A and B are shown apart, each in its own frame.
Chain A
Amino acid sequence: MATAPLSDTNTTVPALTQERPVIWPARVRTTLSNGLEIVLVQSHTIPKFNGQLFFRSGNAMTSATSPGIADMTATVARTGTTARSSRQIEEDLRRMGADLSTGAGADTSAVSFSGLVDFSNELLGLVAELTQHASFPADEFERERRQLVEGLKIERTTPGFLASERLRRVLFGAHPYGTISPTEAQAEAYRLDELKDFYSRYYRPGNALLVMVGDFEPQAMLAQVEKSFGSWANAPVEDAPNPALPALKGRKVYLVHLPGSVQTQVSVANRAITRKHPDWLKLTLANSIYGGAFNSRLVMNIREDKGYTYSPRSGAHSLRQHGYFSIGAAVRNDVVAATLKEIFYEIDRMRTEAVGESELADARNYMTGVFSLGLATQDGLSGQLATSTLERLPDDYLETYRERVLKLTAADVLDASQKYFDSANAQVVIVGDRTQIESQAAQYGAPEIYDAQGNHL
């Protein structure tokens, strides 16, 4: 290959220049007299705004009796109000240039929306209608339920879903966090009155948080919010159940048999902490060194050195009551045992050796930099504000995040690794074709084997 003579400009990595500080946009935080919490932030990047209206009650509320009711309630709530039909709602959204989605996770139900600022008043009015005056049409419910059942059948053929389902069951047992989805039979048994009941109990202003980010003036927007949500009647809401968790002693291996798989989904996890825990930042820094970034140890090892997998990743996950740490990789069928060996090798290295100063500094920079990138768009800013407010983190959590990360030390990383990375008591879930992977799994403990429907084999 022909190349020009190289100057220093070509051969020397340019130094980083002086960092320009993040400029925090004006933020209004208030609570209406009916209890609705509100966070409003200006961001003039595009002539749009987005919002999320959360209720602090999700699928965990009904997990013991009818899993997924919160999600189904949110789904059907968008299909009709006392004033608008399903078709009218969809056409009105299009007319406003708006997108709207509804759904629920374990801890929250949410209506997410975005649109042109010219129509913000109208869009807020529609969101208010969906959350206060949903009509739950029976035919819409029947259709959505059938779509859900068909979707569940397909999920049971998806390795990532099967791995998450088994992992959560293993980590959390009979606790609501142990169930991520209804069975087909449970979904078929949903009744419309369960949805209406969930809606009337939990879609209440004192249980809600409205976060909006966009090209608006906060005081003017606050007046619009008052108009749409001010008269909404509050009612007390009970907390989600929090039953005891299963004891997890010793390493245990679970195999979900998916016949014909040409790849194996390997997951390793243990319970950890929530974002409210003082060790959270330490854990996330340790995670980013272990497997949470492209240049992390696990990615370098099993992807860039050994070529076992395309997308290995680890992550610390925070639910409201509990958290967990998990590692996942989809690997060639013949390297399942070899992958587990490297996953545990890298865990043990994190637990026994202090991380070097330059690797530590790189990881801190990565965390603070990615945090800044996440504030640069309306969606990103909205996500950060929603997380910190929903979890009732300190008011200055976002503003102080970078400086707190930059203070973390090698001792902090070692401490977090020893507390929250745990190869001896790790829960291992592998999803693949049993005939190709069972003997490899057995090298890490006699596997408990399930089929894709969740039956113990």
Chain B
Amino acid sequence: MAPVKCISFFAGDFLTQLNIPIESTTLANGLRVVVSPDRAAPVATVGVYYNIGFRIEPRGRSGFAHLFEHMMFQGSANAGKMVHIKLINSSGGVLNGSTHYDVTNYYESVPSNALERVLWLEADRMRALKVDDENLRNQRDVVKEEVRVNVLNQPYGGFPWLDMPPVAYRNWANAHNFYGDFDDLDAATLEDVQKFFETYYAPSNAVLLILGDVDMDEGFKLAERHFASIPSGPAPAPADIDEPPQIEERRGIVEEKFGTLPGVAIGYQAPRRLTPEWYAAAMLDHALHGGRAGRVYRRMVLERQIAVDADGGIHYPVGDLFDYNGPTLMVTRMLYKPEYSADQTIAAYDEILDEMKQKGLTAEELDPIKVKFRSNYFSNLEGGSSIPHYGLMHLLACFSLFDNEPRLVNTILGGFMDVTPEAVQSVAQKLLTRPNRSIVIRQPAKKGAA
């Protein structure tokens, strides 16, 4: 087969309709399969996404979805502990997994001559996990060090991704500590592991993605060969992740143990995915948080110089616009100078939002935002340098599991490009209200340098 250019475009100045080859099917056991060939380089990327994230882990088992993700590397029926990792690395590939709000993924990127081996490994652990108490003890220890290195022993660790949920939400599913209280991690048993696997890791609750150096037909043939014999299981009962309507501003204060500057994070309940408001909110978000040209950074850091850093986004900072399927926030995160108070900082920030609500933005401001949004979208498709096509894989998976249509990857840009300045102003007026927001302040335990 001749090399296929990954992305080609229909005519027109604003290229919004992509033509990435994408085909999908569902196996008899309910597993969805998506294949997207790109023969430009001799490498293939495989992902298996399960429709389970840390929102709906069991009560009394905070952090379990992530701990379970670690257990998926500890051994399956025909590939014991370390065999997954050894087989992928020794084939010249890399692998990892990650737990998100609404999905958990496992992925490998390999020279394409190892593609079938990767599929075999993923099928083996979808069919039957084979782990013991010793594996669980070991990974519980590893996960605790992960929490320490990323959160407990770092300045601003977990700010605001772990600080915000308990302030902003009332449903435990959305509000609990996703990395896990250590008592809950300690309480987890092997029985919990098997039960979680049986409940959430059935083929019908997953999508398999094969990208890169593979022929379309061959991709589906390989998927059938390795995954079709996995027994189907019942779909998990739908979980309640709804939030009661928020009617007043919520605030919380968290002590900053190491860092020297105070921080503030402000989050507004964001629209549901794929609604007209969602497209407009994405443009609003970009107008506010689009790097150094965004209004928040420009005003707070560059002009008024109250903050020394400012960033934000929808489903920020541990997710993005496309990978949530339940309540989430548009968050702004700032570290500000100690000579300002939290109230002064928030007041200056509010001026930016008030101006947006009152005056909106002009077409002259919105058009460049659309150009940049499009440009970011292309970069995201290509993925990081170590996992080619990671971003494309992630989008295909979320569109498959949440929206049942992976080809949205090719058409979704159009919805953003059609957003009008009026729609942005309107969504700003609706979202950016005090009763719709939550604020977390990180207050340093000690002032200035030690």
Contacts and interface: CB of A to CB of B under 8 A. Distances in A.
Contact of A90 (B89, B292, B449): B292
Given A20-B112, A94-B371, A147-B308, A307 B382 contact: no
Name, among B154, B257, B258, the residue most crowded by chain A CB atoms within 10 Å (CB to CB): B258
A1 B194 contact: yes
A184 B449 contact: yes
Contacts of B305: 143, 146
Interface in B241-297: 257-261, 290-293
B378 A366 contact: no
A374 interface: yes
Interface string B362-386: 0000001101101110110111111
A157 B4 CA distance: 49
B116 A17 contact: yes
Nearest to B212: A376
A236 to B, nearest CB: 35
A453 B449 contact: yes
Contacts of B139: 307
B387 to A, nearest CB: 8
B375 A262 contact: no
Given A22-B42, A90-B293, A150-B337, A377 B385 contact: yes
B138 A310 contact: no
A307 B140 CA distance: 8
Interface string A35-57: 00000000011111000000000
B450 interface: yes
B128 A3 contact: yes
Interface residues of B, number: 105
B5 interface: yes
A368 interface: yes
A45 B379 contact: no
A9 B258 contact: no
B142 A310 contact: yes
Given A10-B127, A45-B6, A310-B142, A1 B111 contact: no
Interface string A85-107: 01100110111111100000000
B198 A11 contact: no
A19 B372 CA distance: 38
B293 A94 contact: yes
B180 to A, nearest CB: 13
8 contacts: A1-B129, A16-B117, A153-B449, A154-B155, A309-B142, A365-B91, A374-B386, A379-B382
Interface of A: 1-4, 6-7, 9-11, 13-23, 44-48, 86-87, 90-91, 93-99, 114-116, 143, 146-147, 150-151, 153-154, 156-159, 184, 260-263, 293-295, 300, 303-311, 330-332, 361-363, 365-370, 372-380, 383, 451-453
Interface of B: 5-7, 9, 15, 38, 40-43, 77-79, 81-82, 85-87, 89-95, 109-117, 119-120, 123-124, 127-129, 137-146, 148-149, 152-156, 194, 197-198, 212-213, 225-226, 229-231, 257-261, 290-293, 298, 301-302, 305, 308-309, 335, 337, 368-369, 371-372, 374-376, 378-379, 381-388, 448-450
